[in-house]
């Protein structure tokens, strides 16, 4: 019985190569962009780092959320591959730390040539009445506090869930003490998550980039975007491990469930995306439409429509039929498409504010993205090797083995 995962040399080399590309891109970015005298070049250097670190932090934090949600619902379907979300969740602290460092550097050190923070304009409100009016919430103290609390709690819960799941392996057989402890902590985590990723964190990290504009369902929309790509990430790991001959309890039924999540939450994302768009389009109030004017009719229109086609049309056409959700190739292809699509979605949330027309998807954007992918593969695969891939002694193990979607 081979329940342990050993990192194949190819995966390790790929991840190290990707990290090397990321580091080289970062050095190139410092040389070419950070030291540039053009404001948008320096803004581009920081916003790209902000975009990727925030995106990866949010999609990895989804793994903790899905564990908590399924534990609270006493679902067994996830148990067959529970080690995958656990391993991703246990590495949230890495991405969270990177994101925190980058966000704090932007808030505290970044200034353009006019002495204005063009990424987070609320840092330097000047005599802007709207920004001064929002300053009780949008200020450095609140930003630092919410960021530290959110990243700290995600990191704690991510590691705690994994630790408890591993502790269950050495617990007496059929002992339910840890199970109920996980159950209670899951409820607590959902509360934490609702107050961070589903509300305050996207407001502060993403929405405050265009600080004049606001949308009440923005955080839900950002969460839906992160959730569907987080599920796709879990699915890619499961397919990879299955291809390596691990995870023998995972069957087509479990893949079908993951595919359903990808399909359903792509539609859910569209629902929120459209709800935000339609109300603003219909009311046509200048302070709200400035956001979509820039994206739909301005320089970002190609990304705006690509976003809709990749994240709604493709999943609904390709993933709707039952056989395509049970086919390993289709689901893993769609998972990659969805992760890329939602990366673009975050791109068009973040970039228009600081960069305006000067946006690029070029060597720097792609290099930094590859670097983050490298870090993700490297850290998660290392965590996966540290315990058995099948959660032995989990009281739902039999139920997951006979699971039918």
Partner 1 sequence: MAIKKFAVAAYDDEAVLFPAVKKVRKSGYKLHDVYTPFAVHGLDQAMGLKETDLHIAGFIYGICGTSTAVGFISWIFTSDWPIVYGGKPHFALPAWVPITFELTVLFAAVGMTLTFCYLNQIMPGVKKHVFHPRQSDDLFVMAIELNDHTPEAEVIKFLKTTGAVETSVQMAEEGWWYGRWDEKEEYEALNAG
Considering beta carbons, is residue 180 or 282 the nearer one to partner 1?
282
Closest CA to 206 of 55, 341, 63: 55
282 counts as binding partner 1 under rule CB under 8 A = yes
Min dist. Cβ of residue 79 to partner 1 (A): 18
* Chain residues 260-279 in contact with partner 1, contact rule CB under 8 A: 274, 277-278
Calpha distance 160→60 (Å, rounded): 15
CA 304 to chain centre: 19
Size of the site for partner 1 (CB under 8 A): 9
Min dist. Cβ of residue 274 to partner 1 (A): 6
Min dist. Cβ of residue 399 to partner 1 (A): 12
Q: Which residue from 109, 284, 302, 329 is in contact with partner 1, where contact means CB under 8 A? A: 284
Considering beta carbons, is residue 27 or 278 the nearer one to partner 1?
278
Number of CB atoms found within 10 A of residue 337's CB: 17
Min dist. Cβ of residue 322 to partner 1 (A): 7
Q: Which residue from 108, 281, 305, 363 is in contact with partner 1, where contact means CB under 8 A? A: 281
Question: What are the residues whose beta carbons fall under 8 Å from the beta carbon of 60, sequence distance 6 or more?
Answer: 88, 89, 91, 92, 95, 230, 233, 376
Q: Which residue from 188, 309, 320, 361 is in contact with partner 1, where contact means CB under 8 A? A: 320
Considering beta carbons, is residue 101 or 320 the nearer one to partner 1?
320
Q: Which residue from 184, 293, 322, 360 is in contact with partner 1, where contact means CB under 8 A? A: 322
286 counts as binding partner 1 under rule CB under 8 A = no
Min dist. Cβ of residue 325 to partner 1 (A): 12
Min dist. Cβ of residue 404 to partner 1 (A): 6
404 counts as binding partner 1 under rule CB under 8 A = yes
Min dist. Cβ of residue 320 to partner 1 (A): 8
Q: Which residues bind partner 1 (CB under 8 A)?
A: 274, 277-278, 281-282, 284, 320, 322, 404
């Amino acid at each position: 019985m081979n329940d342990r995962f050993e990192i194949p040399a190819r995966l390790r080399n790929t991840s190290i190569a990707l990290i090397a590309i990321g580091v080289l891109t970062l050095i190139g970015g410092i040389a070419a962009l950070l030291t540039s005298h053009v404001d948008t070049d320096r803004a581009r250097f920081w916003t790209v780092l902000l975009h990727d670190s925030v995106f990866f932090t949010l999609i990895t934090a989804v793994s903790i959320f899905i564990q908590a949600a399924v534990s609270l619902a006493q679902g067994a379907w996830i148990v067959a591959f529970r080690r995958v979300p656990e391993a991703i969740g246990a590495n949230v602290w890495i991405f969270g730390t990177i994101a925190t460092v980058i966000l704090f550097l932007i808030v505290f050190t970044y200034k353009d040539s006019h002495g204005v923070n063009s990424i987070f304009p609320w840092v330097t409100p000047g005599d802007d009445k709207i920004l001064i009016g929002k300053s009780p919430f949008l200020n450095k103290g609140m930003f630092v506090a919410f960021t530290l609390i959110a990243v700290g709690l995600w990191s704690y819960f991510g590691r705690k869930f994994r630790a408890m799941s591993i502790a269950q392996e050495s617990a007496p057989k059929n002992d339910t003490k840890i199970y109920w402890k996980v159950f209670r902590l899951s409820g607590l985590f959902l509360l934490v998550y609702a107050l961070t990723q589903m509300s305050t964190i996207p407001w502060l990290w993403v929405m405050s980039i265009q600080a004049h504009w606001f949308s009440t369902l923005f955080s839900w929309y950002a969460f839906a975007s992160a959730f569907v790509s987080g599920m796709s990430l879990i699915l890619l790991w499961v397919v990879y491990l299955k291809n390596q001959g691990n995870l023998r309890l995972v069957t087509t039924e479990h893949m079908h469930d993951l595919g359903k999540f990808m399909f359903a939450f792509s539609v859910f994302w569209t629902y929120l995306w459209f709800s935000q768009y339609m109300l603003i389009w219909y009311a046509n109030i200048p302070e709200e439409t400035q956001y979509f004017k820039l994206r739909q009719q301005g320089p970002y229109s190609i990304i705006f429509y690509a976003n809709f086609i990749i994240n709604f049309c493709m999943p609904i056409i390709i993933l709707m039929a039952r056989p395509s959700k049970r086919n390993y190739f289709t689901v893993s292809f769609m998972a990659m498409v969805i992760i890329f699509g939602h990366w673009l979605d975050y791109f068009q949330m973040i970039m228009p504010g600081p960069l305006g027309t000067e946006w690029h998807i070029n060597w720097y954007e792609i290099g930094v993205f590859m670097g983050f992918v490298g870090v993700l593969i490297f850290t998660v695969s290392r965590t996966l090797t540290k315990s058995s891939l099948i959660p032995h002694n989990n009281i739902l193990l039999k139920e997951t083995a006979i699971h039918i979607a």
